[in-house]
Chains A and B, each alone.
Chain A
């Protein structure tokens, strides 16, 4: 074991202590040396003339290139592009699964699924240019489902439907750079094509194509996943829950929902909370059924159903090691193979449910939207039946914190003015007046290469003190929840301005916006804030920064690119830029992006540097907006009133 502190989360610390030298991500990260070439993007393995390790000078003194002559810049850009394509694919394919279920539900072919939020259905249909006047809910839903699916295979070269929602200024930028995303499948396929040996060998061009693919994710796949899920399962509004491994109950059947898609897990929640199943659990000697979430499936069922998060991505193996998890139901993304090995030591059934994500050694029960209720029942029943097989090596860390989650952008608008006056005006006013200095989105994953949850906790606390509003998604959100920061009482930690706003609205100073596809909610909020007025003309004018201090996944890179391209500064922490071997790529993603998008993508290794850089960016934006000093109150005479919009 190295000297690095593995985690600051007490439940994790206690679990690691309990399991001793059992293999986990924490121990394997310590054993596995990072490949230097791979980590900085200088290794090219796209063809069999290589793999080529670039870096340094060749014998005649020239910069080393690949056998084909590809420069370090091309290689680094190509490596990033492939990651972005994979990340975008993950979100887009998630969106596709949702759209297919949505369409089946609209057609009445998916029992158990329906339209929960008709208002949002009409709004989203409007974004897709679907005529709603005089149509039934079902007709609109079918049209929307078809239009959503059509976005995948769109070949016409016209921009995807959602991008119309961006500000005029932003759309003009994308148009000029020719990076309007067209269709998901096309963007991913084309990008992969561009990275084939001997194809696109211009770093900047590869990078801009990566940005276009990322935009297809942010303003397409992710946004669609979020919106269609909201329509089917209900748009989140605040609810209470508890977070961390301490939510598991020794005397109850414990089921963990892990992965990223809520399609099946929604039905599992229905089934596990049904009197029939609870009765069945009791018949097997359990006192009831407890559900817990991990990763973004956890966030999905938290946001809409109040299922408490048992932990974030690095705690998946530890959850099983409590000895009380009777089944861990997994779908896609961030579900690690190490689970099987841990599960073998306990009684836990690891059940894969998605044909995209099978795992050797796990039990597979295929999810089928046409038969979801039955599938869910079978799975819950299997978990209950497994209760009797517990091996006795039980340890549940006594750590859990209360939390409030469920902040959709629709609810944020509502909470600031009610049903009749809902708008972003109070938020804009708070930023203009300086009560709120700015906003940061702390998103993304955990990474065993850094101290688990450390940056999340540190940054939340420091931002709050400085009157900076924090929104969270993904595993970062669970990190903040486990620290107890998602309670309204946390406003006591905030500076006086932010505290006053929290007091007025009744909110925690840290708002949980959902899963990682729900980062699209952040895009919507930023857009609406700009539209509300008083804070510049575009997202790039806002004193807002996106942070992923403990990122690990390719999806994080995709998210970063679509955020920057949308005008938001993004800072990553922990490990360095996966293209840092190329000075040109470093320039293109900082100065280059600044010039094109008004925002940069930067990497800082320590939390302190992230903090400092973020605050500097926020203050610079405030200054540019002219809101760094208090303005005199404007009093309105009749003439001035005539100028006001009614």
Chain B
């Protein structure tokens, strides 16, 4: 029966490529061949085309070459009898469809065709989103994505499916309609919050919108996997073996949808349909079946997961609302608010403490004070969340690590929002959650279940006390603050010198197979998510996991941060690709980068216009900053140069908080070299930057760092630094 699919997909591919041709012609006629065309804020051009062919599309006329490639890929439809083999041609037709669709969608951004972004539809994901969300794919908090095509039989069924996907922590990418109705329309009608934050992402009402799904996955291969543009084999293999995505085809499947599915199958993404279409069950291009049909709507997600070969662990949390990482991004707006705690409106804090085994009664959840049903709507109340844990392998050092989990653990409940931590935490509970019977003790149930499940190696018992009595909260707040203070003291006392072991981190090798992080007490992982204590705890939790202790061994160079044991480890683990590491340098033997770094540091030459003198400065740019930098590139473009697990002197990906470390590139001159960073980052990190300024004996230093409001070229930064007598100007030239 797959001849029917082949015939239909090939037909759809011809239709798509013809449409692309017409649109390109329209664009050339109305805008001119040299008109620029791009998706917003990406360093990867039209990413599917770029990754699979190496062709950069920057202006409309660039599309003509790709159009020819697409046409050459199009086979004839199989004949009625004595047909020639069609699978290979159908898959090629799928790729041609992707190329056609990507050009059609890109042209929409210059006014050819419908507007790409509307109140409902978000359009193409830029690189900021791709990298930030990509990290979730890296660490497994998002095990994959479902590409939904078409519409569910009813709004209720659409909502149920979305909730199911959310509870399974999957991203849901939505594009395509059935009889003019899109799954996204149904979710809106059903009152479901959609958008990147809830992992329900409405791309476009046309199936071509799934080019954004494929583009997201494709960029992951380049950004995290170090795959070179044009290396189609690795791009596709990476996606088959790393990005666990699948297509859910709801309702009628027309030729264009078949063609798009054929494109997805090239990526190893199978299609599962709720209608009675022909199937392709033999395996090989995808990990398992390619097209599975006639699956009852209610079973389709479970079936899809099996077909994709995905293992998803869901912890059943005994609470009356849905639970999953996808709900973490949910906002509770004023209109939906039942009541709230903290957020500077009332006193509130959370504290996790280690206790002896006999002091903790497992699963004891106690609420001291009034529950939600006794509270007035829209008001703020005090709250203390005290979690006491015990375990044979629990250590005092792990307290802050476990405590930091409270944020995302509580946030995972549908209709509950949690922000920040410690004594600045803020919880909002929505009306719908209360309607479904959510009570404050449920917060305790979440914490009990999840902490035990996620940290079975170090935690054996968990008890939780939730306090809403104002006096008690106030009284305990002082205790908590002392605890926070003591912890900070302890952590700041941790230096690279006074430990003998660092931790490796290969967590992101699920996405960036060649990158290796070394985490020291004074240099956290470049993703910003893992510090030395996290590494230590992670090793305790999973002794064969991604974080392994690495003995420093003999100190070879204290100033540059070189240790014999670390070199040995890196050489072994990288198969000899990396021989030496200077942990405190970016210019010599630097740390490699994956794709999930929070910020990039780059060497910026400072030229004195008057004397011609050249000095070395550092610029810092964070992932969220989309604008131009004095380096002459945006973050996205620079990220393309930094990633891929290669040692690349002069540029490095780092965790933002590394800027606060005394070891911050200390071998290269350290913090005093920083001459430029985006304004927003400066404000965000004000606290730690001021600390650094104090330490370097230059309290006014922050004002000497230029930002995009006063310098956007290398020359302007040089002039700005000179005007401020920046210390970097009196330091030696590097490199």
Contact = CB atoms under 8 A, between A and B. Distances in A.
A491 to B, nearest CB: 11
A238 interface: yes
A412 to B, nearest CB: 9
Contacts of A646: 225, 234, 237-238, 241-242, 513
B242 A641 contact: yes
Contact of A504 (B2, B95, B140, B233): B2
A270 interface: no
Contact of A433 (B90, B234, B282, B285): B282
Contact of A641 (B86, B244, B283): B244
A111 B371 CA distance: 95
Contacts of A641: 241-242, 244, 510
A416 B284 contact: yes
Contacts of B242: 641, 644, 646
Interface string B243-263: 010000000000000000000
Given A633-B288, A635-B311, A646-B238, A417 B88 contact: yes
A124 interface: no
Given A238-B84, A488-B83, A504-B282, A421 B266 contact: yes
Contacts of A637: 140, 143, 311, 313
B86 A635 contact: no
Contacts of B92: 418-420
Interface stretch (A15-23, A390-398, A423-431, A605-613): A423-431
Nearest to A407: B85
A187 to B, nearest CB: 38
Interface string B75-117: 0001001111111111110110000000000000000000000
- Pick the most buried of B94, B282, B309: most chain A CB atoms within 10 A of its CB: B282
B220 to A, nearest CB: 11
A506 interface: yes
- Pick the most buried of A427, A429, A500, A635: most chain B CB atoms within 10 A of its CB: A635
Interface string B285-317: 101101000000000000001100111010000
B52 interface: yes
B85 to A, nearest CB: 4
B280 A488 contact: no
A338 to B, nearest CB: 35
Given A417-B91, A636-B309, A503 B1 contact: yes
Contacts of A512: none
A414 B89 CA distance: 9
Contact of B510 (A419, A506, A642): A642
Nearest to A507: B85
Chain A interface secondary structure, helix, strand, loop or mixed?
Answer: helix
B634 interface: no
Interface string A616-646: 0000000000000000011111111110111
- Pick the most buried of A489, A504, A635, A642: most chain B CB atoms within 10 A of its CB: A504
A46 B288 CA distance: 61
B378 interface: no
A576 B216 CA distance: 64
B282 A418 contact: no
A429 B283 contact: yes
A418 B87 contact: yes
A425 B311 contact: no
B87 A415 contact: yes
A452 interface: no
Contacts of B91: 417-421
Contacts of A240: 82, 84
Interface residues of A, number: 46
A501 B282 contact: yes
Contacts of A361: none
B50 to A, nearest CB: 14
A506 B309 contact: no
Contacts of B545: 639
Nearest to B287: A636
Contact of B82 (A402, A420, A429): A402
B124 interface: no
Contacts of B81: 489
A310 B165 CA distance: 61
B3 interface: yes
A504 B87 contact: yes
B6 A506 contact: yes
Nearest to B313: A637
Nearest to B545: A639
A112 to B, nearest CB: 27
Contacts of B648: none
A644 B73 CA distance: 29
A506 B86 CA distance: 5
Interface in A414-454: 414-423, 425-430, 433, 435
A525 to B, nearest CB: 15
A506 B282 contact: no
A487 interface: yes
A551 B432 CA distance: 81
B143 A419 contact: no
Contacts of A427: 284
A505 interface: yes
B510 A638 contact: yes
Contacts of A289: none
Nearest to B86: A506
Contacts of A140: none
Contacts of A423: 284
A489 B81 CA distance: 8
A420 B236 contact: yes
Interface string B1-30: 111001000000000000000000000000
A13 B1 CA distance: 38
A644 B285 contact: no
Given A402-B82, A420-B232, A430-B284, A644 B3 contact: no
Contacts of B283: 426, 429-430, 433
B88 A416 contact: yes
B2 A635 contact: no
Given A635-B311, A637-B313, A506 B281 contact: no
A191 interface: no
B236 to A, nearest CB: 6
- Pick the most buried of A417, A427, A433, A489: most chain B CB atoms within 10 A of its CB: A417
A421 B285 contact: yes
Contacts of A376: none
B61 interface: no
A506 B78 contact: yes
A506 B84 CA distance: 6
B666 interface: no
A416 B87 contact: yes
A438 B108 CA distance: 51
A624 B510 CA distance: 33
Contacts of B73: 419
Contacts of A642: 506, 509-510, 513
B82 A488 contact: yes
A430 B282 CA distance: 7
B508 to A, nearest CB: 10
A404 interface: yes
Interface of A: 238-240, 402, 404, 414-423, 425-430, 433, 435, 487-489, 500-501, 503-507, 633-642, 644-646
Given A418-B87, A489-B81, 11 more contacts: A418-B89, A421-B236, A503-B3, A504-B282, A505-B87, A633-B309, A636-B310, A638-B139, A638-B140, A645-B237, A646-B225
10 closest residue pairs by CB, A with B: A426-B284, A418-B91, A638-B140, A644-B241, A635-B311, A506-B86, A637-B311, A506-B85, A418-B88, A429-B284
16 contacts: A239-B84, A419-B73, A419-B88, A420-B95, A421-B236, A422-B88, A426-B285, A430-B283, A433-B283, A488-B83, A489-B82, A506-B83, A638-B140, A642-B506, A646-B241, A646-B242
Interface of B: 1-3, 6, 52, 73, 78, 81-92, 94-95, 139-140, 143, 225, 232-234, 236-238, 241-242, 244, 266, 280-285, 287-288, 290, 305-306, 309-311, 313, 506, 509-510, 513, 545
